[in-house]
Amino acid sequence: MIRAAADLMYVKGVNGTTLDDVRAASGTSKSQLYRYFADKDDLVNEVVQLRSTTILRREEQRLRRLKSFNGLVRWRTALVQQNALQDGAYGCILGSLANELADQNEQARSMMAETFATWETLIAAGLKRMQDNGTLQADADPATLATGLLAALQGGYLLAQTAKDVAPMEVALDMALDHIKSLVVADKPANPDS
């Protein structure tokens, strides 16, 4: 039921998805649905939890070994390619939920804020590894860079969703990455005397 609800809410939105839609998509009866969920908000909170877990699992896989600028570019490319499969439609599965729920459901908002904070921390940890290995300037702030990069990603998702084209997402991410690249330590020329 949760997976069916998550899929429907991603395509139709939370407000556009009824409990009857979820019952039909999951092949469950009304009594089965209400045995597990007190109301729609209860189901929505489970959808947010499912989506949060899925995103963080994926991002942990992608970001846990990040330690180079090329790694950031690969991360960006994977996200854009995944979104391109739908021509940019629907946006970020978590961002779309946040757009609808942040002002309506405090429990969902809190879960999503925690997920975004964890995602940002994963990015910052990769940037910190870059800093520790001498790739990123010592005076760069990984936490601030991670906030900017995640904001560019989410804004890119939104513009891609509106345009039904991933080009705006690519532009947003590339501009954020250009800023980070400006903080990458240039390769030192080889010493001709050695």
Give the residue extent of every domain in the chain: 49-181
**Sign of the torsion formed by the C-alpha atoms of 88, 154, 70 and 126:** negative
Distance, in Å, from the CA atom of 106 to the CA atom of 97, rounded to the nearest integer, reads 13
pLDDT of residue 28: 93
Claim: this prediction has a pTM higher than 0.85:
yes
Domain 49-181 has CATH 1.10.357.10: yes
pLDDT of residue 89: 72
For 85-137, what is each residue's pLDDT tens digit?
877 676 888 998 999 999 999 999 999 999 999 999 999 999 999 999 999 99
**74 is written with which tokens?**
């690969």
pLDDT by residue for the chain (194 residues), tens only, comes to: 999 999 999 889 999 999 999 999 999 999 999 999 999 999 999 999 999 999 999 999 999 999 999 999 999 999 999 999 877 676 888 998 999 999 999 999 999 999 999 999 999 999 999 999 999 999 999 999 999 999 999 999 999 999 999 999 999 999 999 999 999 998 644 444 43
Distance, in Å, from the CA atom of 98 to the CA atom of 122, rounded to the nearest integer, reads 20
In the chain, the N- to C-terminal Cα span, in Å, equals: 67
